[in-house]
């Protein structure tokens, strides 16, 4: 009488299935983390204005050969709309010059604002920064040189909505105690979609490394 052969799953097969489960768990965790960060970005993408800001800080964005990019014009136009009702604010335009830009972002922003009637002596240029954390570090130095006490100065940060959660976090880390935000639209649809995908990752990176 012959014995029946018993099939035993191979160790290799079990190990493969275990790695598949681990991979699925990691993917699910990554999706949940991204969704949470995306929610934080969306929450911060609206106007949050408190008190009476004395200084407006407009964050730079790409400058092209024919002038500010569409995202940057959105920021500048939103700033101009607010300045029409609050003409006494000091305005800091913040942004250096990238390798593919014809001028510093600060210079292009200042020119744009002056063409729309903002007085030159109302504008301070911060033209050394190349990312958001540097925007605030160098802006803080510039304002302190002008006699401002950061702990007692209310600032209004202007950028596209997707950028404002990270901007607020970095402004507060830099020493600004009272931070309001003014959300500009992102009228260039491809850029808006790209940035809302990119920004949750940039927020995580800044939270961990931009101190």
In this prediction, residue 22 has a pLDDT band, given cuts at 50, 70 and 90, of confident
Bridge partner residues of 184 (DSSP): 160
Which pLDDT belongs to residue 172? Answer: 95
In this prediction, residue 9 has a pLDDT band, given cuts at 50, 70 and 90, of low
As a whole-number percent, the residues of the chain with pLDDT over 90 amount to 73
In this prediction, residue 3 has a pLDDT band, given cuts at 50, 70 and 90, of low
In this prediction, residue 11 has a pLDDT band, given cuts at 50, 70 and 90, of low
The crossing angle, in degrees rounded to 10, of helices 164-174 and 189-209 is: 30
- Please provide the average confidence, as pLDDT, over all residues in the chain: 91
pLDDT surpasses 70 at 210: yes
User: Burial level of 63, CB count in 10 A (0-12/13-18/19+)?
Assistant: buried
> What's the rounded mean pLDDT across residues 185-210?
89
Query: How many CB atoms are closer than 10 A to CB 178?
Result: 18
Which pLDDT belongs to residue 12? Answer: 60
Q: What is the tens place of the pLDDT at every residue in 102-136? A: 999 999 999 999 999 999 999 999 999 999 999 99
pLDDT surpasses 70 at 10: no
Q: What is the tens place of the pLDDT at every residue in 40-96? A: 899 999 999 999 999 999 999 999 999 999 999 999 999 999 999 999 999 999 999
Q: What is the tens place of the pLDDT at every residue in 137-149? A: 999 999 999 999 9
Residue 38 CA to residue 187 CA, distance in Å, equals 20
């Amino acid at each position: 009488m012959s014995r029946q052969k018993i099939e035993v799953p191979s160790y290799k097969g079990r190990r493969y299935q275990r790695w598949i489960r681990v991979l699925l768990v990691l993917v699910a965790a990554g999706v949940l983390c991204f969704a949470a960060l995306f929610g934080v970005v969306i929450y911060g993408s609206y106007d949050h204005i408190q008190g009476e800001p004395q200084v407006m800080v407009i964050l730079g964005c790409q400058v092209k050969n024919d002038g500010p990019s569409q995202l940057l014009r959105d920021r500048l136009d939103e700033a101009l709309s607010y300045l029409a009702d609050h003409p006494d604010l000091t305005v800091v335009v913040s942004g250096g010059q990238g390798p593919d830009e014809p001028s510093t972002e600060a210079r292009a922003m200042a020119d744009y604002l002056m063409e729309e009637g903002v007085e030159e002596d109302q504008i301070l240029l911060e033209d050394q920064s190349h990312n958001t954390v540097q925007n605030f570090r160098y802006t803080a130095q510039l304002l302190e040189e002008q006699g401002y006490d950061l702990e007692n100065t209310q600032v209004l940060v202007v950028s596209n909505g997707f950028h404002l959660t990270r901007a607020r976090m970095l402004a507060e880390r830099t020493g600004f105690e009272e931070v309001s935000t003014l959300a500009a639209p992102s009228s260039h649809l491809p850029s808006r979609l790209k940035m809302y995908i990119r920004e949750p990752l940039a927020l995580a990176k800044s939270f961990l490394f931009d101190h």
